[in-house]
Amino acid sequence: RKEVEQDPGPFNVPEGATVAFNCTYSNSASQSFFWYRQDCRKEPKLLMSVYSSGNEDGRFTAQLNRASQYISLLIRDSKLSDSATYLCAVNIIGLGGKLIFGQGTELSVKP
């Protein structure tokens, strides 16, 4: 089983749709959680850190469920510019800061 798993998609949605991505992790020692966004042929960029209490940034909401070991990202009112690959990443205690990434979920928002 992969340490961090995501649905690879692609997710094809119309503008204005709400889309949700899930990510599961296998190591219960996981300490910190992140969603990164990667545009085609570009570097990953941090979208949001994910906190236990959940957090929201505009149209984006991230949730963490430690008991079930998954994190989620909800995008409301999706825009064409949201089209990208969304990577979840997990930092595990004692591993020197390394991030373990999921394989990414591709999102395509259509007009």
Residues that bind another protein (CB under 8 A): 31-32, 34, 38, 41-46, 49, 85, 87, 91, 94-101, 103-104
**Choice between 69 and 103, CB closer to another protein:** 103
Least distance CB 33 / another protein (angstroms): 9
Q: Which residues pair with 44 in a beta bridge?
A: 38
Least distance CB 38 / another protein (angstroms): 8
- CB atoms closer than 10 angstroms to residue 106: 18
CA–CA separation, 98 and 80 (whole Å): 32
- Residues near 20 by beta carbon (within 8 Å), at least 6 away in sequence: 72, 73, 74, 75
Least distance CB 80 / another protein (angstroms): 21
**Choice between 96 and 111, CB closer to another protein:** 96
**Choice between 75 and 89, CB closer to another protein:** 89
Residue with tokens 């340490």: 3
Least distance CB 92 / another protein (angstroms): 10
CB 9 within 8 A of CB 105: yes
